[in-house]
Structure 1
Amino acid sequence: MDRRTYLKTGAGVVAGGLIAGCTGGGNGGSDETETDASADTESTSGETTGEQTESEESVVPSKVVIGSDIPYRPFEYETTSGELKGFDVEIAQAVFEEELGVEYEFKKTSFDSIIPSLNSGRFRIIMSAMTINEKRKEKVDFSEPYFTAYQTVIIKKDSSISSKEDLKGATIGVQKGTTGASAAEELKTEFDGDLTLKKYDQIPSAFQALINGQIDAIVNDNTVNSEFADKRDDVVFLEGEGAAAAEGENAPPYLTLTVENYGIGFRKADDEFRKKVNEALAAVKENGTYDEIYSTYFSG
């Protein structure tokens, strides 16, 4: 299946269980802060590790608890009535409920501590628009990729910034622990330090800061930036060629700082469960469910 990279509304690129005390979202993400999650050790019912492979039940738990940073539209977010929605949420339903026949539940978790929380046993897997990268692979294993995204820049429509070079000396907002933050750090290095970064716990705070004039731009995933920008007349993508064009991708019509793939995160040694999830993901793509879910949130 071709990976698509444009949002339904103009820019950009799969609910059985509701959240347990959940409200908060995903984030293509980068190098997580090594937050100590030792105090956060609730274990999930029915969980076993991938080392227990004597039977199907020991591999696939009766209920899968999923760590996710919410809100992060369009991947995971709550409606005004408290219903959990989003691309990742529907993919989870297709994979766990429909293919594997088990319950699932999303658990709200700060993105910059999501990997330590996974490894402390707070939940079984991560589904939070998480980019697969080498640093993360040192701490977790990933499913096969299920989405392609880009790090992009949004600005106010009346901004004097019109190119990547114009970002020099600017103040850029990012979410902590994300690949957007890493891309901005690389940009700062490229500009010999002449860039100010403001890091926020959740991306909606960065969006509000942009509107309030507290920052000049935001570096974040294209799909999430587009979800925000498409609802406003005063926010646009920074244009220009970038990583997607350089890699020969079907580049979107705006500046791309990186090309990234999202995956589901697993604890090390949970290999048998990861294999089952990969098989379910492949089935969801093969039977057309992935395309149906994708078309709900994206187009192209």
Structure 2
Amino acid sequence: MDRREYLKLSSAAVAGVGLAGCTGDSGSGSGSGSESSGGDSSGESGDAAASGTESGGSDGGEETAAETAESVVPSNVVIGSDIPYRPFEYETAAGELKGFDVEIAQAIFEEQLGVSYEFKKTSFDTIIPSLNNGNFRVIMSAMTINEERDQEVDFSEPYFTAYQTIIVREDSDITSREDLRGIAVGVQKGTTGLGAAEQLQTEFDGDLQLKEYDQITGAFDALMNGQVDAVINDNTVNGEFVQNQDGVRFVEGEGAAADQGENAPPYLTLTVENYGIAFREDDEAFRERVNEALAAIRENGTYEEIYSSYFAG
């Protein structure tokens, strides 16, 4: 099968995800650049300006519905993200921040909510504490919604479906899940790829060596240098690497996607996951506005246009 087919099929289930479920320290956006130092000044001044409207005595000074809705949206949204994580967020040779998450952010914040946004580079294994410490307003970083994370943050409705997959060198003898027993596997710290690898390690009674890297590019380099025998990571990111790097392939076969009745891709899937935008737990009103904007870009075709430009061709 042509390697581009992996990207076409990689997230076929995303169309069925209803709205009912990673370099630059600052990045894209309409660019105010006013929040370069983190802190949760992430547009909070915009909140204050919008909420300080209890002027002139409308029945006890209550805000109107329009004022209340506006007050929860900051004038500039700072987004925590692990960069590079191609094709979701990465820098071009010219230093421009690009990616699926980047364009979805533009559609939500700039086009739908009418505010600026910027991406702030953050290590994935510390990204949730950084959010809760006020270093940025939301996380957009190909982040899987799961129970453990849901104890610390709140998520938007899902906006992408992904799978944990395995890639190996072309000349590898590894052709099945069982063949991973006893080998060294590269994973990124703090990710669900690490979680899937740890599950396999338990299944193999510890007979699996895990090597953790700060960024997925480190795991890919280790694979090509022979320091690990396989990499476990999200299908689209693995697929992007397979497409652009000679001598690498997916481990094929059925797995979690087929077990769950998904439109399973031809490669082995260890998990089926949904990505969401993460918010602090006290940011419910803003989360609702973002969900509304996410629904709008699905309805008006913007989501499909962005999706197709990264995954359908």
TM-score range, shorter chain: 0.7 to 0.9
Are positions 1:268 and 2:281 aligned together? yes
**Aligned with residue 241 of structure 1, among 242, 250, 254:** 254
Q: Which amino acid aligns with 1:180?
A: G
Residue pairs, 1:32-111, within 5 angstroms: 42-47=39-44, 48=47, 55-111=68-124
The residue number in structure 1 matching 2:237 is: 224
**Given that residues 6 and 239 in structure 2 are in contact (C-alpha distance below 8 angstroms), is that contact kept between their aligned partners in structure 1?**
no
Question: C-alpha deviations, 1:73-103, integer Å up to 9, x for none?
Answer: 0000000111000000000000000000000
The residue number in structure 2 matching 1:32 is: none
Question: C-alpha deviations, 1:218-268, integer Å up to 9, x for none?
Answer: 000000000001112200000111000000000000100000000000000
% identity of equivalent residues: 69
Higher relative contact order (CA 8 A, sep 6+): 1
How many residues were matched structurally?
273
**Given that residues 24 and 97 in structure 2 are in contact (C-alpha distance below 8 angstroms), is that contact kept between their aligned partners in structure 1?**
no
CA distance in 2 between counterparts of 1:45 and 1:10 reads 36
CA distance in 2 between counterparts of 1:45 and 1:219 reads 34
**Aligned with residue 10 of structure 2, among 12, 19, 35:** 12
Are positions 1:289 and 2:302 aligned together? yes
**Aligned with residue 183 of structure 2, among 165, 170, 185:** 170
CA distance in 1 between counterparts of 2:91 and 2:179 reads 36
Q: Which contiguous aligned blocks of 4+ residues in structure 1 show a shift greater than 3 angstroms?
A: 6-11
Q: Which amino acid aligns with 1:42?
A: G
CA distance in 1 between counterparts of 2:149 and 2:301 reads 30
The residue number in structure 2 matching 1:258 is: 271
CA distance in 2 between counterparts of 1:234 and 1:259 reads 26
CA distance in 1 between counterparts of 2:130 and 2:291 reads 22
Q: Which amino acid aligns with 2:264?
A: A
**Given that residues 157 and 235 in structure 1 are in contact (C-alpha distance below 8 angstroms), is that contact kept between their aligned partners in structure 2?**
yes
What is the Cα-based RMSD across aligned positions, in Å? 2.0
TM-score, length-normalised on structure 1? 0.87
Q: Which amino acid aligns with 1:296?
A: S
SS at match of 1:253: coil
| The 10-residue stretch of structure 1 (126-135 or 228-237) with the greater mean CA deviation from structure 2 | 228-237
Q: Which amino acid aligns with 1:290?
A: Y
The structure that is helix-richer by fraction is 2
**Aligned with residue 21 of structure 1, among 18, 21, 25:** 25
Whose Rg is larger? 2
CA distance in 1 between counterparts of 2:8 and 2:242 reads 10
The residue number in structure 1 matching 2:59 is: none
**Given that residues 24 and 91 in structure 2 are in contact (C-alpha distance below 8 angstroms), is that contact kept between their aligned partners in structure 1?**
no
Instruction: Name stretches of at least 5 consecutive residues in structure 1 with no aligned partner.
Output: 1-5, 24-39
Q: Which amino acid aligns with 2:25?
A: G
Q: Which amino acid aligns with 2:244?
A: K
Q: Compute the displacement of 1:20 (Å).
A: 6.2
TM-score, length-normalised on structure 2? 0.83
CA distance in 1 between counterparts of 2:271 and 2:122 reads 25
SS at match of 1:67: strand
CA distance in 2 between counterparts of 1:192 and 1:218 reads 19
SS at match of 1:70: coil
The residue number in structure 2 matching 1:189 is: 202
Q: Compute the displacement of 1:57 (Å).
A: 3.2
CA distance in 2 between counterparts of 1:97 and 1:110 reads 25
**1:264 to 1:7, Cα distance in 2 relative to 1, 3 A:** farther
